[in-house]
Amino acid sequence: MEKYSHLKSELEKEQTNLNKRLKEFDDLGLAHGFASSVSSGELSQYDNHPADSGTALYEREKDIALHEHIVLQLKDIKRSLDKFDNGTYGICETTGELIPVERLEANPTARTKVEFVESNMNNSRPVEEEVLEGFEKYNFDDADDETQFDAEDSWQSVARFNELPMVFEDSSLVDNEELIGGVEEIEAFLSTGINGYEGDDSVQFHRNVHYDHYLNE
């Protein structure tokens, strides 16, 4: 183990630094899962803006993740230091062969040779990517066993609004003649800017369904 003495010193130094950081996190109550009202010092979240609460929640989640990461690092370091005590440090747990010194210097807590490292990488993709292939993937028109309102139908329904001008005003007038009779008729098709009336040039004229109704009357 003499040739690994510098790695042992490095591990012990890192262990000391991580224990200090862990104590700082524990002083914040992260090890006890305090509610957000307790961790923020507030008796109630009632009068807090949701954005402020969201920011506080994000920061707390980040601190908890860092706390957990430190705990895992300390476990790895303790396992490596225990191997120094029983004389197994630097031996691959899979093959029983010596781990190259270069690998241990890059990662003193390495447990196997690099070719036997289990990948912890999550290869799953965001669920949103499932719809990036286009609507054809979710077009069930030719499927005899599918009768659902598919993605193509959704797009067609939305696209119809571009073909029906004044669709919202027309539908409201058919139901209850909204905006007709409640104010001066001309107010429904004449308007001004945010500064109000500033002369004839500031008045805008709209040939809409209210204008047609005014003429018919």
Cα gap 8→89, rounded to integer Å: 10
The H-assigned helical ranges of 28-49 are: 36-39
- Show the tokens assigned to 152: 């193509």
Reported confidence tier of residue 8, pLDDT bands at 50, 70, 90? very high
User: What's the one-letter identity of residue 75?
Assistant: K
Cα gap 91→83, rounded to integer Å: 9
- Show the tokens assigned to 171: 């539908």
**Using the 8-state DSSP alphabet, how is residue 123 labeled?**
-
- 13 against 192, higher pLDDT: 13
Specify the pLDDT at position 136.
Answer: 67
Angle (CA) 91-96-100 rounded to 5° is 45
**26 & 81 share domain:** yes
**146 & 178 share domain:** no
Specify the pLDDT at position 131.
Answer: 66
**65 & 169 share domain:** no
Contact by Cβ (8 Å): 93, 112: yes
**34 & 96 share domain:** yes
**9 & 108 share domain:** yes
Reported confidence tier of residue 133, pLDDT bands at 50, 70, 90? low
Element (H, E) at 204: strand 204-205
Which residues have C-beta within 8 Å of that of residue 3, sequence separation ≥ 6? 101
3 state DSSP class of 91? strand
**Range in 21-25, 36-40, 101-105, 146-150 with the lowest mean pLDDT:** 36-40
**90 & 7 share domain:** yes
Q: How much is the mean pLDDT over the chain?
A: 77
**208: nearest Cα among 160, 164, 163, 166:** 166
Specify the pLDDT at position 33.
Answer: 52
In a domain, 134, yes or no: yes
HSE-CB at 115 with a 13 A cutoff on CA atoms is: 5
Domain that holds residue 36: 2-114
Is the confidence at residue 163, as pLDDT, over 70? no
Within its chain, how far is the Cα of 194 from the centroid?
Answer: 38
Specify the pLDDT at position 38.
Answer: 47
- Measured from the Cβ of residue 89, the count of other Cβ atoms closer than 10 Å reads 20
**76 & 27 share domain:** yes
Which range, 18-27, 37-46, 169-178, 208-217, has the best average confidence (pLDDT)?
18-27
| pLDDT tens digits, one per residue of 63-100 | 888 889 999 999 999 999 999 999 999 999 989 999 99
From first CA to last CA, the distance across the chain in angstroms is 102
**152 & 53 share domain:** no
Specify the pLDDT at position 178.
Answer: 47
- 98 against 170, higher pLDDT: 98
In a domain, 75, yes or no: yes
Specify the pLDDT at position 40.
Answer: 57
Specify the pLDDT at position 176.
Answer: 44
- pTM for this predicted structure: 0.49
Cα gap 174→160, rounded to integer Å: 19
**Using the 8-state DSSP alphabet, how is residue 191 labeled?**
E
Dihedral over alpha carbons 65, 70, 74, 75 (to 10 degrees): 10
In a domain, 120, yes or no: no
> What mean pLDDT do residues 115-132 have?
71
Specify the pLDDT at position 165.
Answer: 52
**173 & 83 share domain:** no
**110 & 192 share domain:** no
